Amino acid sequence: MKTFKKELKALKKQLSEPKRQTNQARLRTASDINAEEETFSFTDAMQGVTPLSQDKVEPDKQVELFKKSQQVKGKHLKHSKQLAASFDFSDMYQAALPQEGPMRFCQEGESTHILKQLRRGDYSPEMTLDLHGLTREMAKAELAALIHTARKELIDCVCVMHGFGQGVLKAALPHYLVQHPHVRAFHQAPLEYGGQAALLVLVDIPLQNNKR
């Protein structure tokens, strides 16, 4: 009987040994995996990966760049307008103008009949420039801008009021107008537009829309 019990214990031991070895192998495998995971860093994982380039602009910087571009654009536009409206009138130039009768002038190649039309008021000015209180330099700048705007808006007749005063602008204005290539003619204004204190100026507007 005792012998049978010993043999039974020995058999159970033999049957349990493979299972114990399998469990130990599993434990070793798990330990090895944990050890490998501990030694495997983020840097190792990122090897061979190309970093993305930063192509974003922070909101504040984006607004700043937009404002800067608008300012530059505005300056260029303003400069272009100034160049378009500018004309270098000379104070030294003295045109051969009539000494008697109303102040008048007709560009070479134009019919003198337009002077009669201006005198009679056949042309009605659509723009008026008042030079009262301006210096010569200021008056020249305003006059150049007036002619530029008239051509841009396809306005062929404008009125320039020089006033009386000391007669400085009244004497200088006709000599300025004669110099400008887009002035076809001018005449002392009819009474309803200022009489001796103003000139009616006929402007040469673009040919395709010319009102001649």
* 148 has pLDDT over 50: yes
Contact, 212 vs 179, CB < 8 A? Answer: no
Annotate the chain with three-state secondary structure: CHHHHHHHHHHHHHHHHHHHHHHHHHHHHHHHHHHHHHHCCHHHHCCCCCCCCCCCCCHHHHHHHHHHHHHHHHHHHHHHHHHHHCCCCCCCCCCCCCCCCCCEEECCCCCCHHHHHHHHCCCCCCEEEECCCCCHHHHHHHHHHHHHHHHHCCCCEEEEECCCCCCHHHHHHHHHHHHCCCEEEEEECCHHHCHHHEEEEEECCCHHHCCC
**C-alpha dist (Å) from residue 49 to 37, 41, 42, 46:** 20, 14, 12, 6
What is the per-residue pLDDT across 64-109, written as a single tens digit (0 to 9) for each? 655 555 555 554 444 445 555 678 899 888 888 988 999 999 999 9
CA–CA gap between residue 77 and residue 71 (Å, rounded)? 10
* 128 has pLDDT over 90: yes
In this prediction, residues 124-143 reach a mean pLDDT of 94
What is the per-residue pLDDT across 171-204, written as a single tens digit (0 to 9) for each? 999 999 999 999 999 999 999 999 999 999 999 9
pLDDT band per the 50, 70, 90 thresholds, residue 211 = very low
Residue among 171, 96, 107, 173 at smallest CA distance from 140: 173
Q: Give the position of tokens 């201006």.
A: 118
**What per-residue confidence (pLDDT) applies to 209?**
46
Contact, 15 vs 7, CB < 8 A? Answer: no
